[in-house]
A and B are shown apart, each in its own frame.
Chain A
Amino acid sequence: MAETSPLTVFEERQDQIHCTGDGPFEMACNRDSLAGAVSQRACVFCGSRVVLYPIADALHLVHGPIGCAAYTWDIRGSLSSGPELHRLSFSTDLRERDVIFGGEKKLAAALDELIDRHHPNAAFVYSTCIVGIIGDDLEAVCRTMTEKKGIPVIPVLSEGFKGNKRAGYLAACKAMNRLVGTGDVTDISPVSVNILGDFNLAGEIWIIRNYFERMGVQVVANITGDGRVADIRRAHGAALNVVQCSGATLDLAKMMREEHGVPFVRAAYLGIEDMADSLYRIADFFKGIDPGIVDRTRALVREEVSALLPRLAEMRRDLEGKKAAIYVGGAFKAFSLIKAFRHLGMTVAVVGSQTGTEEDYAELAQVTDPGTIIIDDANPLELSRFVKEKDVDVFVGGVKERPIAYKLGVGFCDHNHERKIALEGFEGMYNFAREVHASAMSPVWRFVPRREAQNRAAAKGGTAPADAGSDAPAPGEANIPNDKEAVA
C-alpha cells in the first residue's frame, strides 16, 4: 500500500497538495476530479458561461435540459451600462422526446422565437452534456439561423463532460474569435486597448476604464464585462490586449495575436502593486507613441495610492498578524490576494485554486511563507481541515466555501463572481480591506464553539486566549496605539 502523506485526505490526491518548505516542489494539476470527492470545480459549460455571460446585448441560449440554464440565471454581479439581456436565462428545456428524436428543430425554433422577441446583436448557443451525446449538429443550425436572422449565431462547444472549466474558457474564446475581425476599425486610436478577462462584477471594469481614460488610452472592447457585440467585432483594431485572470480569455488573446497581430500583456487589478504594475506596463507599451503617458500614469497612481494608504492603515491596525486562507478559481487571483493581505499586515496560511497550472503553483510556493499549504482542486474535507489546522481568521473564496468557513466559525470574504462589492482597482483594495475587516473584527467569533473551547483551555492553562493573540501589538508595531484596550 502506498504511504500516505500526512497532508492528504484522499491518497490519490497527495501530489495535488503541498506544504512549502517540505522538500522539492512538484504539483500535479489539470487532472480530472477524483470520483466521489466533492470537488469545488464545475464543468466545461460553466467555464464557457462564465466568460460569455456578461456580453449584455447577446442572446445566451442554453441548449439542453433545464438545469444548466436554471442554475446560471442571473447569479453573477456582472453589470451592464445598457442592455441587460444577459440577465435572462434562456433554455431549449430538452425533453425525453428531444433526446430520442434530436433537438435541432427545437433549437432552431427557439432561436427564431427569441431573436424576434429580443433583437440581440448576436446569439451564443451553448451545448450541454446531453447535446454532445445525442449529436445535434449545432454548427449547421447556427449557420442556417445566421443567414435567416442576419446576426451572428454562434455555437459554443461546451459539453459539460468534455474536460473541466478551462476547456470551457477555450470554447468561449473560440466562439468570440468568430466575431473578432468583422467590425469597422477606422476611428480607433493608436493608443488603444481591449480589456480582456474582466467581468465587471459590481462595476469593476468601469473603475479600470476610468484609469485608462485618465492615462489617455482608448478602450475598444470590454471582454467581456459590460461587453457589446459590436465592440468585440472591432476588437482587432486595438493596439494592445490587456489580459486579466488565469487564462479565462488568454486563449482569445493568443488567437488575436496570431490572426490579427495584436500583442498582449498580462494584468491584474487586485491589490496595490498589481494594479499599479499593470498600469505602468501599459504606459510602457505606449510611451514610444505617447511620451506623456508615463507621467500621467505616475500621477494617477500617486494620487490614488496616497488617498488609499491612510485609509488602509486604520484597518491594518486591527488586522495585523491575522491569518488568511485563499481558495479561488484561478491561481492568478491568488497572487494578487497574497500581496493584498500583506498590505493589511496579514499572512496567508493556505492557498489553492480550482484550475491552477504547474507554473502557477510553483510561483505560489515561491511567494508564500514556509509552512503554507498549497492545494489544487480541493474539496470540503481538505479545506476545512487546513482552515482549522492553520487556525485562520478569514477565508477568501466563493459561495461553496462560505459555509465551510462559517460552520467552523471563521470569517469569510466573498471573492467569487456573485460578489456585489467592487474589489478591483485602488478603491477596490479599500473595499477588500473593509470586507476583511468587517469579517475578522466581528465579535461573533467569540461565541463560536471553536473559540469558546480555545478560550476555556487558555483560561485553565493561564495563558492568553487564542483570539486575543492578534489584539496584542505585533513586533515592530508597538508604537501604534491599541485602541481595543479602551474597549476592553
Chain B
Amino acid sequence: MKTKESFVSTTNACKLCKPLGATLAFKGVEGCVPFLHGSQGCATYMRRYIISHFREPMDIASSSLGEKNAIYGGGPNLKKGLLNVMQKYGAKVVGVASTCLTETIGDDMPMIIAEFRREFGDLDLPEIVQVSTPSYEGTHTEGFHAAVRAMADQLVTDKVEPHGGVNVMPGLASAEDQRHLAELVRLFGAEPTLLPDTSDTLDGPALMEYERIPSGGTPLSAIRAMSGARGTVELGRTLKGMRTGGDGLAQRFDVPLFKIGTPVGLRETDGLCAALEAITGAPMPKALLKERGRLVDALVDGHKYVFGKRVVVYGEPDLAIGLTAFLAEMGAQPVLVATGAEKCGLAGHVAEACGDLLRERPEICEGVDFHEIAEKAEAMGPELLVGNSKGYPSARKWNIPLIRTGFPIHDRFGGQRILHMGYKGALGLYDAVVNAVLEKKQSDSPVGYGYL
C-alpha cells in the first residue's frame, strides 16, 4: 500500500478539512447551531460548499476573529458569539468546533466555555458541545466522528431507565440513508435514535416561515436517553481502531456496541441486519427478506454486464470500503480504491470486506489527491468511476461513466436523496451501475441497438 510521500504538494484534494465534518454532525441535533471558532471565511466557505450539495440553508455561526483577536486570544469573541447565537437564534444546543487559527493561537476552548458558563450562569444557557478540529490534522470524516463522540461524551451524562431503543451512529450518510436506517430499525420492532440525524435539517420541506434553526435533528432528550438503549450500532469499519461515541456509551453505561461496516451491498447489509437481530432479539423481518431476495435476483439478472469491469472507487473511506465490497459482490473488478484520509487501515478493511470474492486485489491508496488517483488509474484502463462528483474531470478525460455517490455532489441534482445503504440502496446503486455500462455500450456502438 502506498501513502502520500511521493509528492510534496497537493493537487485537487480528495478530502475536506476537519471542521466541515464537525458542522455536518452538529447540524443533526435538534435546535443546534454549528459554530466555528475561527475567522469568518471558514464558516462562509463551508456553508457554500455544503449548500451546493444539499440545496438547503446551512447556517454556521462564527466567532469571526480579526487580527487583534488572533494576537490577544479569541475568548471574548467566542463568548459574544455564543450569546448572540443563543439570544438571536434561540439555540438549544451550540456545537462549537475549533479551526486551524484558534488551535494555533492556543485558545483553550474548554476553559473559555467554562468561563462563559460561570459568567452567564444566571441566563438560560444552551448546551454547549465543543470539539477540537484543527484543519491541519485529519479530514472532514474524522471531524465528523470527533463531533459525534463529543456529543455522546458531553450530552449523555446519566444512565436512564432501559427503554428498548436502538442507537445508530450512521456516519456521513445521506439524508435518504438516514431515513432508511431509521426504517430498518423500526422493522425490527425498536425505536431508533440516530446521532446525528440530518435527514430533516438538510432535506426539509418548503416552508411558510424561514426557520432560524431548521426543524428536525435528534432531540436532546433522545440523545440523553441513549444511555438506556438496548444497543448501539456504529457504521464504518474504520471506526474499529478509534475511540468513538459508541465506545463511550458502552464503557460508561454498558450499552452493547456493534461496530460494523457501512451497510452498502449485500453482505455488509446482512451484517447490519445481524446486529439488529442480536440487539432486538427480533427475527429478520419478512419485508426485508423480500428486499434481499430482489437484490440477489437483480445481481443474477445483470451479472454479465458488469463482470470484470475495471472500477476506480474513491472518497470517504467507509463509504469506499462498502462500495468496493458491493462491486466485488456483483463481479466487477475494483482496480483502485483511494482516499485522501490517512492511517485508516484502508487495505485491511477492504480485504476483509471483500473476502475471497475478488480475483485480483485492488491497489489501495491512502492520503492521495485526485492528481495521484488519475495518474495511477490511467495505467489501469478503468471502465467506471465510483465516488463523489469531484472525480468528474477524470471521467470526462477518459470518457467513462461516473456513478455519483456520497458527498459532495455538486454537478447533479438530489445528492442528499441518494440511497446507498440497505438492500434497497444496493438495488438502486446496482441499477445505476448496470445502466451506466449499458448506456456507454449503446452510445459507443456504431449499430445503436435498441435492445440490450
B3 lies within 8 A of chain A by Cβ: no
B252 lies within 8 A of chain A by Cβ: no
Q: Which of B99-107, B177-185, B302-310 contacts A (4 or more CB under 8 A)?
A: B99-107
CB of A438 to closest CB in B, whole Å? 16
Which chain B residues numbered 51 to 94 have a C-beta less than 8 Å away from chain A?
51-52, 55-67, 69-70, 77-78, 80-85, 88-89
- B136 touching A94, Cβ below 8 Å: yes
- A92 touching B46, Cβ below 8 Å: no
Complex Cα distance, B52 from A480, in Å, reads: 40
Complex Cα distance, B10 from A98, in Å, reads: 15
Complex Cα distance, B39 from A163, in Å, reads: 9
Complex Cα distance, B205 from A403, in Å, reads: 12
* Of A43, A70, A112, A162, the contact of B17 (CB 8 Å cutoff): A70
Given contacts A129-B38, A384-B210, contact A71 B46 (CB under 8 A): yes
Given contacts A35-B81, A42-B40, A42-B41, contact A161 B48 (CB under 8 A): no
Which chain B residues numbered 418 to 436 have a C-beta less than 8 Å away from chain A?
none
Given contacts A95-B136, A449-B206, A453-B208, contact A406 B55 (CB under 8 A): yes
In the complex, residue of chain B having the shortest beta-carbon distance to the beta carbon of A449? B208
In the complex, residue of chain A having the shortest beta-carbon distance to the beta carbon of B56? A403
- Listed residue (B81, B207, B208) with the most chain A CB atoms within 10 angstroms of its CB: B208
Q: Which of A130-138, A149-157, A218-226, A245-253 contacts B (4 or more CB under 8 A)?
A: A130-138
A-B contact count (CB 8 A): 229
Complex Cα distance, B20 from A35, in Å, reads: 19
Which chain B residues numbered 337 to 351 have a C-beta less than 8 Å away from chain A?
340
In the complex, residue of chain B having the shortest beta-carbon distance to the beta carbon of A418? B52
Given contacts A46-B45, A163-B66, A399-B52, contact A408 B135 (CB under 8 A): no
**B-chain residues with CB within 8 Å of residue A388 when the two chains form the complex:** 209-210
CB-CB contacts of A450-472 with B at 8 A, as 1s and 0s?
Answer: 10010000000000000000000
B186 lies within 8 A of chain A by Cβ: no
* Of B45, B48, B61, the contact of A68 (CB 8 Å cutoff): B45
* Of B20, B85, B204, the contact of A36 (CB 8 Å cutoff): B85
- B61 touching A36, Cβ below 8 Å: yes
Given contacts A90-B11, A132-B70, A399-B52, contact A380 B57 (CB under 8 A): yes
CB of B73 to closest CB in A, whole Å? 12
CB of A197 to closest CB in B, whole Å? 21
In the complex, residue of chain B having the shortest beta-carbon distance to the beta carbon of A444? B206
In the complex, residue of chain A having the shortest beta-carbon distance to the beta carbon of B9? A110
CB-CB contacts of B32-53 with A at 8 A, as 1s and 0s?
Answer: 0001001111111111110110
Interface size of B by CB at 8 A reads 72
In the complex, residue of chain A having the shortest beta-carbon distance to the beta carbon of B367? A93
A88 lies within 8 A of chain B by Cβ: yes
- B105 touching A409, Cβ below 8 Å: no
CB of B181 to closest CB in A, whole Å? 25
Complex Cα distance, B60 from A260, in Å, reads: 45
**B-chain residues with CB within 8 Å of residue A61 when the two chains form the complex:** 9
Complex Cα distance, B205 from A449, in Å, reads: 10
B108 lies within 8 A of chain A by Cβ: no
- B43 touching A67, Cβ below 8 Å: no
**B-chain residues with CB within 8 Å of residue A25 when the two chains form the complex:** none
- A161 touching B13, Cβ below 8 Å: no
Given contacts A91-B13, A399-B48, A408-B207, contact A37 B40 (CB under 8 A): no
**B-chain residues with CB within 8 Å of residue A95 when the two chains form the complex:** 136-137
Which chain A residues numbered 253 to 298 have a C-beta less than 8 Å away from chain B?
none
- A37 touching B57, Cβ below 8 Å: no
CB-CB contacts of B242-273 with A at 8 A, as 1s and 0s?
Answer: 00000000000000000000000000000000
* Of A69, A132, A447, A448, the contact of B13 (CB 8 Å cutoff): A69
A188 lies within 8 A of chain B by Cβ: no
- B45 touching A42, Cβ below 8 Å: yes
**B-chain residues with CB within 8 Å of residue A88 when the two chains form the complex:** 11-12
Complex Cα distance, B282 from A11, in Å, reads: 56
Complex Cα distance, B77 from A70, in Å, reads: 27
- B210 touching A161, Cβ below 8 Å: no
- A35 touching B8, Cβ below 8 Å: no
* Of B10, B67, B134, B208, the contact of A69 (CB 8 Å cutoff): B10
B15 lies within 8 A of chain A by Cβ: yes
B220 lies within 8 A of chain A by Cβ: no
Given contacts A42-B45, A129-B100, A384-B210, contact A73 B84 (CB under 8 A): no
**B-chain residues with CB within 8 Å of residue A447 when the two chains form the complex:** 206
Which chain A residues numbered 149 to 194 have a C-beta less than 8 Å away from chain B?
160-164
- A130 touching B104, Cβ below 8 Å: yes
A14 lies within 8 A of chain B by Cβ: no
Which chain B residues numbered 204 to 235 have a C-beta less than 8 Å away from chain A?
204, 206-212
Which chain B residues numbered 127 to 159 have a C-beta less than 8 Å away from chain A?
134-137, 139
Complex Cα distance, B84 from A221, in Å, reads: 46
CB of A294 to closest CB in B, whole Å? 44
CB of B410 to closest CB in A, whole Å? 8
CB of A480 to closest CB in B, whole Å? 32
B7 lies within 8 A of chain A by Cβ: yes
Given contacts A38-B61, A399-B48, A449-B207, contact A10 B84 (CB under 8 A): yes
- A404 touching B62, Cβ below 8 Å: no
A407 lies within 8 A of chain B by Cβ: yes
**B-chain residues with CB within 8 Å of residue A65 when the two chains form the complex:** 17, 100, 134-136
* Of A37, A67, A113, A448, the contact of B135 (CB 8 Å cutoff): A67
- B12 touching A35, Cβ below 8 Å: no
In the complex, residue of chain B having the shortest beta-carbon distance to the beta carbon of A387? B210
- A71 touching B48, Cβ below 8 Å: yes
- B135 touching A32, Cβ below 8 Å: no
Complex Cα distance, B46 from A399, in Å, reads: 12
CB-CB contacts of A65-92 with B at 8 A, as 1s and 0s?
Answer: 1111111110100000000000011111
Complex Cα distance, B209 from A388, in Å, reads: 8
Given contacts A380-B59, A449-B208, contact A163 B67 (CB under 8 A): yes
Complex Cα distance, B49 from A212, in Å, reads: 37
Which chain A residues numbered 106 to 137 have a C-beta less than 8 Å away from chain B?
106, 109-110, 112-114, 128-130, 132-134
- B8 touching A161, Cβ below 8 Å: no
- B9 touching A114, Cβ below 8 Å: yes
**B-chain residues with CB within 8 Å of residue A94 when the two chains form the complex:** 100, 136
Complex Cα distance, B48 from A208, in Å, reads: 29
* Of B9, B45, B62, the contact of A72 (CB 8 Å cutoff): B45
A343 lies within 8 A of chain B by Cβ: no
A441 lies within 8 A of chain B by Cβ: no
CB of A304 to closest CB in B, whole Å? 33
- A66 touching B15, Cβ below 8 Å: yes
* Of B44, B60, B134, B340, the contact of A46 (CB 8 Å cutoff): B44
Complex Cα distance, B12 from A70, in Å, reads: 7
Which chain A residues numbered 12 to 45 have a C-beta less than 8 Å away from chain B?
32-45
Which chain A residues numbered 348 to 398 have a C-beta less than 8 Å away from chain B?
380-381, 384-385, 388, 398
**B-chain residues with CB within 8 Å of residue A68 when the two chains form the complex:** 41, 45
Complex Cα distance, B14 from A89, in Å, reads: 11
27 contacting pairs across A/B (C-beta < 8 A): A32-B64, A33-B40, A34-B64, A35-B63, A36-B63, A38-B43, A39-B40, A39-B62, A42-B44, A42-B45, A67-B20, A67-B46, A67-B135, A69-B10, A70-B13, A70-B17, A129-B104, A130-B100, A134-B104, A161-B38, A380-B59, A381-B210, A388-B210, A403-B58, A407-B204, A447-B206, A448-B206
Nearest first, the 5 closest Cβ-Cβ pairs linking A and B are: A43-B41, A36-B84, A67-B17, A36-B81, A384-B210
Q: A66-B10, A162-B67, A403-B55 are in contact. List 9 more A-B contacts (CB 8 A).
A: A65-B135, A66-B13, A66-B15, A67-B20, A71-B16, A99-B136, A160-B101, A380-B57, A406-B206
